[in-house]
Amino acid sequence: MKHLAPATQFNFGLFGNWNQSWNSIRSGELWGKLSKGPVTRKQAASLYSNAKIVLNYTSEDSIKWDAMNLRFFEVLACRSFLISDRVPSAERDLCGCAVFSDGGEDLAEKISYYLAHPEERSKIAERGFQYVTNYATVQVRAQELLNYLRQILDDRAVPQD
């Protein structure tokens, strides 16, 4: 939790089942105060839309497999500003659409900077929204999958000498 700990100086809450999994952490009392409990998808969209900054903390498994979680897309679809820990595929695909942090003091510095620069925050959030609506819809992703499968089938159809 050293990734998020410096961010506790800011007014924010953790939504989801955070407190349940962090009961054994020494600073559990602090995380317990920050934990606001689970929310529905509809409530999450409202929270994202009204937040100045949304933080994403990716599970270790997702980072290991270089997989973006759904939160990237949900937040950007709400025209919200996202700061996330580093996931290589997200940094590659979302360059200029979200901000990435090494956590700790780097995260605190980026939160302070973007709170003080709302116009820059807004421009990045708008680029994220444009990315999601142009390149990450179900239709676009389904077409990418179909193209990929066609390529596999085409490669198999080529006669071997």
Q: What is the pLDDT of residues 67-80, one digit of tens each?
A: 999 999 999 999 99
Q: Where are the domains of the chain?
A: 5-132
Each residue of 2-22: pLDDT tens digit?
Answer: 677 777 888 888 787 654 555
Token pair 């956590």 in the structure block, residue: 103
DSSP, collapsed to helix, strand or coil, labels residue 81 as coil
> Do 7 and 111 contact (CB within 8 A), yes or no?
yes
The Cα diameter of the chain in Å comes to 68
Say what the pTM is.
Answer: 0.83
Architecture of domain 5-132: 3-Layer(aba) Sandwich (3.40)
pLDDT at 24: 52
Q: Pick from 77, 106, 108, 111: which is nearest to 94 by CA? A: 77
* Structure-derived torsion over alpha carbons of residues 86, 64, 37, 34, reported in degrees to the nearest 10: -40
